């Protein structure tokens, strides 16, 4: 029989915390009838966020064009929406059941290019766009292509979204972590970047790229213009490619913050050498269409022959799924003012975004009042990375531990904390060690996606749990 020893050791090494042992335990408890508040993953529609009507109506017509022949459609669906579905099927007569060209349906790639040009006021080219099964596949394509062997390393933020650490492990690359600066709202720090790349080189790693997640997961941070510029300069000086993971670009809640795409900032800086791979997705924003697996990868400063290799890579798995491609199309080309469907679309979009903003505030303000917990109100994305303090354990001298020993000890502490939180309250969050955290600190990551009353409940229960947990540790 096959055993784990027969598997690729890179697969065995890869870890993916957001679906790890705590979530598995939560599922068991749920099967036994316990109510679980799932705050472990950014999966909005699993947490009762409603899909936008416009999207589902168009997708329904595309999946089953026979509906277009039914007279009731004219009275149940807005006119512009029906026209839209017909137009899409005219431009792509094969519908959803046939493969498309490997980089994706041409008119959709053109719509993505138009979206980028509109969003950023810069030129964009459909031939530099590949439609993907979610942003994850885009990131994995870039890492597949750029990691040439064990000596190659990718810089990734700490804390990070574990897609990156897991995929680097899977492809046999090395992870070069750089800390985000919690004291400065989780921005990137040039000094930290320099230190981390120099250490990696001393250890024999060849850095080839840097991943930046903006707005951030798990931090909820939005990077300033200066920060984005700084990273581009850093990448140029160090010969790095950039993966700009911008899946949360619509999720910016703080009025003082703005999303700056790497594509725009690079263009404005006149940067023509740093290779840029930008990712976007239908999973986040106000759509939350995670199950539809749609997204795109845009290439800048990539020569034609290299681009050809990426298209070849995409062609190895034929093409992205078609419903996901159409969902991406609707994301980049939504209804416009004047369309019959626009008012409902706009109302539903604003309702999702304003509810997320409100929930971020409730969570942030509530947690700030808990003694021993620290959190800035999240400014973007869908997450909060909450720092918490626990009393030291008797007989444990952290300062005498080797770094690896200390990491393992702190991972055990935050995991035990999150497991106890789950067992006692039904709240499912992810230990900070799954994302990486500075030595001497403990965190957990939570989403603020559940309905508002559950977030309120979450804060109350968390407070009672934390006070009790700390008291028990002090009594030991």
Ligand X SMILES: Cc1ncc(COP(=O)(O)O)c(C=O)c1O
By the criterion CB under 6 A, which residues form the site for ligand X? 42, 134-136, 161, 163, 213, 217, 245, 247, 281, 283, 290, 295
Contacts of 441 (CB under 8 A, 6+ apart): 182, 387, 410, 432
Q: What residues form DSSP beta bridges with 278? A: 244, 298
Which strand (E) or helix (H) includes residue 276?
strand 276-281
SS3 content of the chain, % helix, strand, coil (to 5): 50, 15, 35
Minimal distance in Å, beta carbon 243 to ligand X?
10
> Nearest residue by C-beta to ligand X?
134
Minimal distance in Å, beta carbon 141 to ligand X?
12
Minimal distance in Å, beta carbon 324 to ligand X?
9
Minimal distance in Å, beta carbon 247 to ligand X?
5
Minimal distance in Å, beta carbon 437 to ligand X?
17
Contacts of 95 (CB under 8 A, 6+ apart): 62, 63, 65, 89, 322
3-state secondary structure of 183: helix
Identity of the residue, 328 or 433, whose beta carbon is nearer to ligand X in the bound complex? 328
Minimal distance in Å, beta carbon 163 to ligand X?
6
Identity of the residue, 217 or 314, whose beta carbon is nearer to ligand X in the bound complex? 217
Identity of the residue, 282 or 442, whose beta carbon is nearer to ligand X in the bound complex? 282
- Residue 359 in tokens: 């929930």
Q: Is the dihedral of CA 312, 242, 138, 141 positive or negative?
A: positive
Identity of the residue, 134 or 364, whose beta carbon is nearer to ligand X in the bound complex? 134
Q: How far apart (Å, rounded) are the C-alpha atoms in residues 215 and 196?
A: 22
Identity of the residue, 142 or 163, whose beta carbon is nearer to ligand X in the bound complex? 163
Residue with tokens 């040009």: 117
Identity of the residue, 61 or 129, whose beta carbon is nearer to ligand X in the bound complex? 129
Residue with tokens 């062609």: 315
Task: Give alpha helix (H) positions in 92-218.
Answer: 106-120, 134-146, 163-170, 190-202
């Amino acid at each position: 029989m096959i055993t784990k020893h027969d598997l690729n050791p890179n697969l065995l090494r890869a870890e993916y915390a957001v679906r790890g042992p705590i979530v598995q335990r939560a599922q068991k408890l749920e099967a036994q009838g316990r109510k679980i508040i799932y705050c472990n993953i950014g999966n909005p529609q699993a947490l009762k966020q409603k899909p936008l009507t416009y999207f589902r109506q168009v997708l329904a017509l595309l999946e089953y064009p026979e509906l277009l022949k039914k007279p009731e459609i004219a009275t149940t669906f807005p006119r512009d929406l029906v026209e839209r579905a017909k137009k899409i099927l005219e431009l792509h007569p094969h519908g959803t059941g046939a493969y498309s060209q490997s980089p994706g349906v041409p008119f959709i790639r053109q719509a993505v290019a138009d979206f980028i040009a509109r969003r950023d006021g810069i030129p964009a080219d459909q031939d530099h766009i590949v439609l993907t099964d979610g942003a994850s596949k885009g990131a994995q394509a870039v890492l597949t292509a750029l990691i040439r062997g064990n000596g190659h390393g990718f810089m990734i933020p700490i804390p990070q979204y574990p897609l990156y650490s897991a995929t680097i492990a899977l492809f046999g690359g090395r992870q070069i972590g750089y800390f985000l600066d919690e004291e400065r709202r989780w921005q990137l720090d040039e000094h930290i970047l320099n230190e981390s790349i120099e250490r990696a080189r001393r250890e024999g790693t060849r850095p080839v790229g840097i991943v930046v997640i903006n707005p951030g997961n798990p931090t909820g941070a939005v990077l300033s213009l200066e920060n984005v510029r700084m990273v581009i300069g850093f990448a140029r000086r160090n010969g790095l490619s950039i993966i700009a993971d911008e899946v949360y670009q619509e999720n910016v809640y703080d009025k003082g913050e703005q999303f700056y795409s790497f594509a725009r900032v690079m263009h404005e800086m006149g940067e023509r050498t740093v290779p840029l791979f930008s990712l976007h997705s239908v999973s986040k924003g106000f759509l939350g269409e995670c199950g539809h697996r749609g997204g795109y990868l845009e290439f800048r400063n990539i020569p034609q022959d290299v681009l050809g290799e990426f298209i070849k890579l995409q062609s190895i798995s034929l093409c992205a799924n078609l419903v996901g491609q159409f969902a991406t199309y609707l994301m980049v080309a939504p209804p416009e003012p004047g369309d019959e469907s626009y008012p409902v679309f706009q109302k539903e979009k604003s309702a999702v975004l304003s509810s997320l903003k409100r929930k971020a505030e409730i969570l942030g303000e509530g947690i700030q009042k808990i003694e021993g917990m620290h959190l800035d109100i999240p400014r973007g994305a869908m997450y909060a990375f909450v720092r918490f303090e626990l009393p030291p354990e008797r007989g444990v001298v952290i300062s005498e531990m080797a770094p690896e020993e200390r990491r393992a000890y702190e991972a055990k502490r935050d995991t035990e904390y999150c497991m106890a939180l789950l067992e006692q309250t039904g709240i499912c969050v992810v230990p900070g060690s799954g994302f990486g955290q500075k030595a001497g600190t403990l965190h957990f990551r939570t989403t603020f996606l559940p309905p508002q009353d559950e977030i309120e409940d979450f804060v109350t229960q968390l407070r009672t749990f934390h006070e009790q947990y700390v008291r028990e540790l002090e009594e030991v």
